[in-house]
Structure 1
Amino acid sequence: MMQLHRAILVDDELFTRKGLIKLIDWEDCGFEIAGEADNGEDALALIERVQPQLVITDIRMPVIDGLELIRRVTTENNMKPAFVIISGYNDFNYAQQAMRYGVQDFVVKPIDEIEFTSILKKINEKLNAEQEEQSKRERRIGSEMIKSLILGEASEASIAGWERRLQLKKTDFLIYMFAELNDNHRLEPSTGQIPNARFMELVQQELMRITAASQPVNLYEHRNRTGILLPGFLLEPFNGELERFLAKFRAALDIHFGKSVFLYAGSPVYGLAHIRDSYKAAKDALLYKYTNDERIVVYEQMQSEQLNYIGFEPAQFNQFMEHFEELKSDAVKTAVEQWFLDFREKRYAPEAVKMNIQQCVMGIMKTIRSMEGDEQSLSTLKPLLNWQDINLSLGELKNMFSAFIEESGLLVAELRKEQQKGGIQKIKSYIEMNYSQNMSLKSIAAQFYVNPVYLGQLFKKTYGVYFNEFLLQLRVNEAKKLLRQSCAMRVYEIAEKVGFSNADYFVTQFEKIEHMTPTEYRNQLQ
């Protein structure tokens, strides 16, 4: 919301001033009445003190009239407020003179509420546009200044000029810091994403509010975080305590973004010429992102803490992959929980976290490929491969990694089903081609490198009959075919041809299925 513009009323008639105050909804028009004066001389002093954006003045007044007031302010004063003239005299000569000084409008008494409200709203829109344009220029200048400083390209003359512009004293220290919005990605189409410009706008807004800054704080848009050039005098409301300021700043941003903003503060330095050192320290503070839950990293406090750049133990990783391929989801979840606990407690640097996550992703992708699967079909793969291009909290990274593992596990299970289906079909085809040979569940399982118990269960699950039943039915069906087609073949010859080494056993099994002997079956045909 835009801040209300300050307006003052100048008229020698008290009734006119008070009536105008009551007549208009000033706040709705974008203004607040910051003072009144009953003559031009007092108005000059009031303008100097209040620095209004709008002056509403009568023309005919004692001491200094309205036109002289406007002339002096516009030609002699650095302050350039907008002017609106009100007068009981419908004298366009006055209006013509006033317009030379840039007066916005000329209103004749008695004042019409609707007309005057319309004039004020137009002036408010113009002032807002000018303020926005000025803010853009200020932000651009501040951004260029920071860029020049952190690249070490600023000249001594420009540094001195910027220090005057910032009203810095030699005793004022400066801190460079980062504000980083995390978990601001869009994995689901329904999830809203906060633009960088909006984040910077709210960072600026909250900085000015909690520090009571009289002018905008200089910000710089880095690739995925906002840089802040913080003068030490802005910490005065916090007794100069950086930690108190950071806690208040974080809490203010949490109202807008939830618990997703991280703050990193570099070392304090004296003079803009040294801000690059504070910037480098703030960058080093980024490395401690995953070492605590506070979401605040102060380089001065963390620089002595050693970071870890270690990978997973080979045995630990191999066991994880074994559990993953065995689809032991509970064991996999336990391993992931422990890994992310270690990332924090053992102070893993972000680069080490990335290395270990990638090792797991590559291992899982290799498994999927070995099963003739397509890892690109995983919707969770691409975000995980590119997670360092966005800012993620450790908790959100764990969620993303866990979602990838879960989806990958489902794919592996599906691929295994397809492989099993294809494998059992090969076994069935082999049996149908070689049923006349001496075979058993054990011999088939050995030939296809499958556990016999598992093969028996899989065969029953796939075809609804046990292996021995299927083989027996196959042999009996072929025996019936031979009995129908060849009257010369003896029963024992048929038994041998379809895979029975014992003719009596053949007869027994044939009768068990057909409820008649092979001979009876042949005689029945005759």
Structure 2
Amino acid sequence: MHTVILVDDEVFTRKGLIKLIDWESCGFQIVAEADNGEDALEIIRKVRPDVVITDIRMPVLDGMELIRRVVEENDANPSFIIISGYDDFKYAQQAVRYGVRDFILKPIDEFEISDTLRRLNENLGREGAERLRNDSLLNDSMLESIVLGEASDTAIAQWEQRMMLRANDRLFYLFAELNDNHAWNPSAGQISSAGFKEIVHQVLQRMSGGEQPFYLHDHHNRIGILVPERALEAFNGSIERFVIRFRQALSVESGDRVFLYAGAPVSRLADIGQSYITAKETLLYKYIHDDNRFVIYDQVKTEKVNYVTFELKEVGLFVERMEELQTENVRATVESLFHNFRNDRYAPEAVKITIHQYVLGITKSIRGMDGDESALSSFAPVVGWYDLSLTLGELKRLFSEFVDESQRYIAELRKVQVKGGIQKIRGYIETNYSSNISLKSIAAFFFINPVYLGQLFKKSYGVYFNDFLLQIRINEAKKLLRQSSDIRIYEVAEKVGFSSADYFVTQFEKIEHMTPKEYRNKLLPSDKGDNPGEIESE
């Protein structure tokens, strides 16, 4: 179990969270609680939890300040989830910079937070396994120790010789990222991490004619590369030209799905950690530069990135349009959404949070109609991509397929509901035919527009409502006439729902082409004859 502490100045919120969530099934156990940031900070230092779930506004030390202090101390390294009663997301930019995993609004939705916790549990498991692998690599990889600033001066000098570095040569840390590399992508074959690393190595060797040694390091979904000044000589010393050529060559081998991210140059191998850090910062600009598919830190370092994601009401309106089957409107909204991701300069984490909220809204709608979202073939990809590297186009494809399939599913669910509803209405008519019912009264009882109900009834059963009701009443009248020779015609009329015996006789004769009396007399033995004392409407 991963450990969790809850931080909120409202005790009923903390206790409610404890009871609301099946923590164990999500992979967590709560080990402590705090009602303010200062106490929470001390608990984090002692307990070193895996996850901290905190409110923003608290006395003494608020949530954002708590996160800042923990991050800057760099002692404990928990994942943070923010729970807030405010939907303006004004804290989103700061929260994302501090690595906050999710931002959940009050009132807390059990499905939403459980889903968040399960995904976080999976991520922490993967990250833990990766940390173990990286810890093992630290013992064998001097490159990583240099990046981390842990290598000795002697070791650094040895590596400078290996890389044939000259005094004051610039040195770049570069990420090569393979995108859309997943089983749900029918247009591109999957490449293993080792396979992609080998492709990167071979392309670099071809570009340098085998004369320049390159050193590579595995990162999650990416390959880290040390690019020295000597490698740029064929490109007039331009890192941009080198990157463009490098990406073109990689695309030949692995498809046009490779992104490159170049950090700021440094002049000493000992400072390569700074280039690594800036290369990581360029990842924030991925979807802004989706067309070029490369980002160079010195070209974007002054550009702003948008961390504010969306308005919840926009998700609600989108789901409403889906439920109303406004297909063209829905598709136009998806187009606009992805257009805004690029034009409004969304950071990747902001894109992830936005897509997650839209998927959650659609899922709630499906569940509300007694559907099962897991029955959709597009559901697994749209919730499983969060830890993958995707181009904006591929993400749009996965999301659009989910939206389109969900809308078709919602239409099918509605048909089922309508069919069930019209069957209930028919049952109601068959039970209450003897009462003073009408299309208008039944529509009001079932909260349906009477015109729509009339159309739906004709479409479902091939007859108009009034004809259906009349036929039921006449059939019931015939049954009474068959079963009792003593019942009077006006009594039959009353029992089957006619307020006027004369009107009953008229309608009976219209359908059966004989009067009620003639119908009953037809059933009597011939020696009895007619009942002379009875008239049709008595």
- Same fold per TM (> 0.5)? yes
What is the CA deviation profile of residues 452-502 of structure 1, one whole-angstrom value per residue up to 9, with x for unaligned ones?
Answer: 122122222222222111111100000000111111111111111100111
- Who is 2:436 aligned against? 438
Give yes or no for the alignment of 1:371 onto 2:362.
no
1:189 Cα deviation after fit: 7.7
- Who is 2:487 aligned against? 489
1:143 Cα deviation after fit: 7.7
- Who is 1:236 aligned against? 233
Distance 1:233 1:428 in 2: 83
Once the two structures are superposed, the pairs formed by residues 46-85 of structure 1 within 5 Å of their partners are none
1:521 Cα deviation after fit: 0.7
Cα distance change of structure 1 residues 399 and 155 upon mapping to structure 2, 3 Å threshold: same
Cα distance change of structure 1 residues 190 and 181 upon mapping to structure 2, 3 Å threshold: closer
Give yes or no for the alignment of 1:269 onto 2:266.
yes
- Who is 1:83 aligned against? none
CA RMSD of aligned residues (A): 1.7
Distance 1:352 1:317 in 2: 15
- Who is 2:347 aligned against? 349
Cα distance change of structure 1 residues 169 and 143 upon mapping to structure 2, 3 Å threshold: farther
Give yes or no for the alignment of 1:284 onto 2:281.
yes
SS state at 1:456 partner: helix
SS state at 1:267 partner: coil
Distance 2:221 2:444 in 1: 58
Deviates more, 1:184-193 or 1:497-506: 184-193
Cα distance change of structure 1 residues 141 and 152 upon mapping to structure 2, 3 Å threshold: closer
- Who is 1:87 aligned against? none
Distance 1:252 1:165 in 2: 25
Match of 2:496 among 492, 495, 498: 498
- Who is 1:55 aligned against? none
Tell me if the contact between 2:260 and 2:293 (Cα under 8 Å) persists in the aligned partners: yes
Tell me if the contact between 1:142 and 1:218 (Cα under 8 Å) persists in the aligned partners: no
Tell me if the contact between 2:188 and 2:255 (Cα under 8 Å) persists in the aligned partners: no
SS state at 1:269 partner: coil
1:145 Cα deviation after fit: 2.1
Cα distance change of structure 1 residues 430 and 188 upon mapping to structure 2, 3 Å threshold: same
Distance 1:142 1:217 in 2: 20
Amino acid at match of 1:510: F
1:142 Cα deviation after fit: 12
SS state at 1:297 partner: strand
What is the CA deviation profile of residues 414-439 of structure 1, one whole-angstrom value per residue up to 9, with x for unaligned ones?
Answer: 11111111111111111111110000
Tell me if the contact between 1:264 and 1:297 (Cα under 8 Å) persists in the aligned partners: yes
Tell me if the contact between 1:510 and 1:517 (Cα under 8 Å) persists in the aligned partners: yes
1:398 Cα deviation after fit: 0.3
- Who is 1:195 aligned against? 192
SS state at 2:225 partner: strand
Equivalent pairs: percent with the same residue? 59
Match of 1:458 among 441, 456, 465: 456
SS state at 2:286 partner: helix
- Who is 2:155 aligned against? 158
Distance 1:149 1:471 in 2: 87
Match of 2:467 among 451, 469, 472: 469
Distance 1:518 1:146 in 2: 102
Distance 1:315 1:362 in 2: 13
- Who is 1:295 aligned against? 293
Match of 1:205 among 178, 196, 202: 202
Distance 1:166 1:484 in 2: 107
Distance 1:365 1:262 in 2: 32
TM-score, scaled to structure 1: 0.71
- Who is 1:320 aligned against? 318
Amino acid at match of 1:267: A
- Who is 1:479 aligned against? 477
Tell me if the contact between 1:308 and 1:348 (Cα under 8 Å) persists in the aligned partners: yes
- Who is 1:333 aligned against? 331
Distance 2:315 2:264 in 1: 39
Distance 2:140 2:378 in 1: 37
Distance 1:498 1:516 in 2: 18
1:151 Cα deviation after fit: 2.4
- Who is 2:243 aligned against? 246
SS state at 2:182 partner: coil
Distance 2:454 2:506 in 1: 24
Cα distance change of structure 1 residues 343 and 312 upon mapping to structure 2, 3 Å threshold: same
- Who is 1:360 aligned against? 358
Distance 2:197 2:447 in 1: 63
1:188 Cα deviation after fit: 6.2
Amino acid at match of 1:255: V
Match of 1:382 among 372, 380, 383: 380
**Number of residues of Structure 1 aligned to a counterpart in Structure 2:** 387
What runs of 5+ residues in structure 1 fail to find an aligned partner? 1-139
What is the CA deviation profile of residues 96-124 of structure 1, one whole-angstrom value per residue up to 9, with x for unaligned ones?
Answer: xxxxxxxxxxxxxxxxxxxxxxxxxxxxx
Distance 1:503 1:395 in 2: 72
Once the two structures are superposed, the pairs formed by residues 104-143 of structure 1 within 5 Å of their partners are none
1:285 Cα deviation after fit: 0.3
Amino acid at match of 1:485: Q
Distance 1:321 1:141 in 2: 49
Tell me if the contact between 1:143 and 1:220 (Cα under 8 Å) persists in the aligned partners: no
SS state at 1:192 partner: coil
Tell me if the contact between 1:151 and 1:276 (Cα under 8 Å) persists in the aligned partners: yes
1:244 Cα deviation after fit: 0.9
Give yes or no for the alignment of 1:391 onto 2:396.
no
Once the two structures are superposed, the pairs formed by residues 22-33 of structure 1 within 5 Å of their partners are none
Amino acid at match of 1:367: S
1:319 Cα deviation after fit: 2.1
1:175 Cα deviation after fit: 0.2
Distance 1:379 1:154 in 2: 49
Tell me if the contact between 1:142 and 1:220 (Cα under 8 Å) persists in the aligned partners: no
SS state at 2:261 partner: strand
**Greater C-alpha Rg:** 1
Distance 2:138 2:225 in 1: 14
1:509 Cα deviation after fit: 1.3
1:387 Cα deviation after fit: 1.2
Tell me if the contact between 1:143 and 1:219 (Cα under 8 Å) persists in the aligned partners: no
Tell me if the contact between 2:181 and 2:188 (Cα under 8 Å) persists in the aligned partners: no
SS state at 1:305 partner: coil
Runs of 4+ with deviation above 4 angstroms: 140-143, 188-191
Tell me if the contact between 1:213 and 1:234 (Cα under 8 Å) persists in the aligned partners: no
Cα distance change of structure 1 residues 211 and 190 upon mapping to structure 2, 3 Å threshold: closer
Tell me if the contact between 1:220 and 1:227 (Cα under 8 Å) persists in the aligned partners: yes
What is the CA deviation profile of residues 302-361 of structure 1, one whole-angstrom value per residue up to 9, with x for unaligned ones?
Answer: 111111112223443332121011111110000000010000011000011111101100
Distance 1:221 1:311 in 2: 31
Distance 1:508 1:280 in 2: 92
Amino acid at match of 2:456: L
Tell me if the contact between 1:325 and 1:412 (Cα under 8 Å) persists in the aligned partners: yes
1:294 Cα deviation after fit: 0.4
Cα distance change of structure 1 residues 310 and 143 upon mapping to structure 2, 3 Å threshold: farther
- Who is 1:149 aligned against? 146
What is the CA deviation profile of residues 29-67 of structure 1, one whole-angstrom value per residue up to 9, with x for unaligned ones?
Answer: xxxxxxxxxxxxxxxxxxxxxxxxxxxxxxxxxxxxxxx
SS state at 2:377 partner: coil
SS state at 2:141 partner: helix
Distance 2:441 2:253 in 1: 69
Cα distance change of structure 1 residues 415 and 368 upon mapping to structure 2, 3 Å threshold: same
Amino acid at match of 2:344: K
Tell me if the contact between 2:163 and 2:213 (Cα under 8 Å) persists in the aligned partners: no
